[in-house]
Amino acid sequence: MDDDEPGTALAPHDALAIIAGQRAVAARTYPSATLLFGLWGTVWLLGYGLLWLTSLDDDTPAVWAAVVAAVATIVAMVTTAWHMVVRTHGIRGRSALQGAMYGWAWFVGFLAQGVIVSALANAGATPVVISLAANAMATMVVGLLYLAGGVLWESYPMYGLGAWVLLTGAFGSFAGIPGSYAVLAFAGGGGMLAAAVVVKVCGPRRA
Amino acid sequence: MPDDELDPVIHAQARLRVVATLAALGEGDRIAFPRLRRLLDMTAGNLSTHLRRLEEADYVMITKTYEGRSPATYVALTPTGRLAFDRYSRRLLDLLGSAR
């Protein structure tokens, strides 16, 4: 039977072990949900946490806190893109197309969020309303896209995280400013970190 | 091939590794030959030999294309190959079940 590997009869349990081993190897071609949830959870906890802490006195975040949050976001975006490129290098076909479409959905979603926030400012909204709307719409984009990702990759943790971010973000709007920043930092960022742990414990999605 | 026999095309260590790796990719996905070779840690010649055998059985599809000016080879499991691997995996579990 083993015409090209004489003398290496393969026992059924060895064959099963090989299959399990190769599944783990193939998992190197999927993005790591643990890494990405962990990364973005940290950025939200740090970024929105600083915005919250520095706005406790006068409802306005410190400029340095906004700069740190923006830089952390850019670093996370670059890290995410780099991770995707490295992991999915050499993979073509359906999942590459899905991944590209999903990636662009984030870009389009946050572009729309930025435009709407600008329009509200343009229409004379107060700084508090602008900040509140920016936070609420960020959780809306993130929550809906996590829901979509959960559907796309049949991932319960991702779907659950989407629902959690959506609902905590929506109800957290009642906390006003600066309370809404704390909701995004602890419920949003904390939820992503919790999802990172869940995915790590439950293993990669196809394994 | 009788139903109770393990598919001899898959039931060889190196080819099982190839098929199991391809089966763990998404359905409808293909992988560049060099990436597959690195994942499996096989020599190009060795991998080519096994892929040829799998291609003869219609278990994998090899696509040769160009990316810019450089030639590129992609490998994918065919629906027949995926079905054969599923049947092989089930048969393995059956064998292990009856051995207990």
A83-103 pLDDT tens trace: 999 999 999 999 999 999 999
Q: Is B28 in CB contact (< 8 Å) with chain A?
A: yes
pLDDT confidence band for A188 (50 / 70 / 90): very high
Q: Cβ of B68 under 8 Å from any chain A Cβ?
A: no
Residues of chain B with pLDDT under 50: none
Q: Has residue A24 got a pLDDT over 80?
A: yes
The arithmetic mean of pLDDT across residues A134-152, rounded, is: 97
> Is there a contact between A174 and A136 (Cβ–Cβ < 8 Å)?
no
> Is position A24 within any domain?
no
**What confidence score (pLDDT) does residue B69 get?**
92
Q: Which residues of A touch B50 (CB under 8 A)?
A: 4
Count of domains for chain B: 1
- Residues spanned by the domain of A63: 30-202
The verdict on residue A81 lying in a domain is: yes
Residue in B21, B76, B93 nearest the CB of A22: B21
Which of helix, strand or coil describes residue A190? helix
B/e letters for B29-67, b = 16+ CB within 10 Å, e = fewer, are bbbbbebbbebbebeeeebeebbebbeebebbbeeeeee
Looking up tokens 């946050």, which residue turns up?
A110
Residue B39 to residue A92, Cβ atoms within 8 A: no
- Predicted pLDDT at A6: 47
- The pTM score is 0.88
> Residue A58: which residues within 8 A CB-CB, separation 6 or more?
none
Residue A1 has a pLDDT of 40
Distance CA B87, CA B79 (A): 12
- Residue B98: what pLDDT? 76
Determine, yes or no, domain membership for B73: yes
Q: Which residue in A3, A22, A94 is closest to B27 by CB distance?
A: A94
Residue B4 included in any domain? no
The sign of the dihedral angle between the CA atoms of B39, B45, B48, B50 is: negative
Task: Using alpha carbons, select from A41, A34, A32 the residue that is nearest to residue A83.
Answer: A32
- pLDDT category at A206 given cuts 50, 70, 90 is very low
For residue A59, the model assigns a pLDDT of 87
DSSP B24-64: HSPTTEEEEHHHHHHHHT--HHHHHHHHHHHHHTTSEEEEE
Which pLDDT value is given to residue B21?
97
Residue B99 lies in a domain: no
In a domain, B40, yes or no: yes
pLDDT recorded at residue A4 = 53
Pick from A7-16, A56-65, A120-129, B16-25: least confident? A7-16
Q: Look at the alpha carbons of A84, A87, A91, A94 in this order and tell me if their dihedral is positive or negative.
A: negative
**Which of A2-16, A171-185, B86-100 comes out lowest in average pLDDT?**
A2-16
Instruction: Determine the pLDDT at residue A9.
Output: 74
Q: B12 vs A29: CB contact, 8 Å cut-off?
A: no
Say how many C-beta atoms besides its own lie within 10 A of residue A140's C-beta.
17
Distance of alpha carbon A107 from alpha carbon A129, whole angstroms: 24
The amino acid at A28: R
CB within 8 Å: B29 and A13: no
Judge whether residue A202 has pLDDT over 70.
yes
pLDDT of amino acid B97: 86
Which chain A positions have a beta carbon within 8 Å of B51's beta carbon? none
Q: Considering the domain boundaries, does residue B38 fall inside one?
A: yes
CB contact under 8 A, B13 and A96: no
- Would B3 be classed as within a structural domain? no
The number of distinct structural domains making up chain A is 1
Q: Do B35 and A89 touch (CB under 8 A)?
A: yes
Q: What is the pLDDT of residue A204?
A: 58
Q: B85: domain range? A: 13-94
Under the banding of pLDDT at 50, 70 and 90, the label for residue A161 is: very high
pLDDT tens column, B41-56: 999 999 999 999 999 9
| CATH (domain of B73) | 1.10.10.10
**ipTM of the shown complex:** 0.91
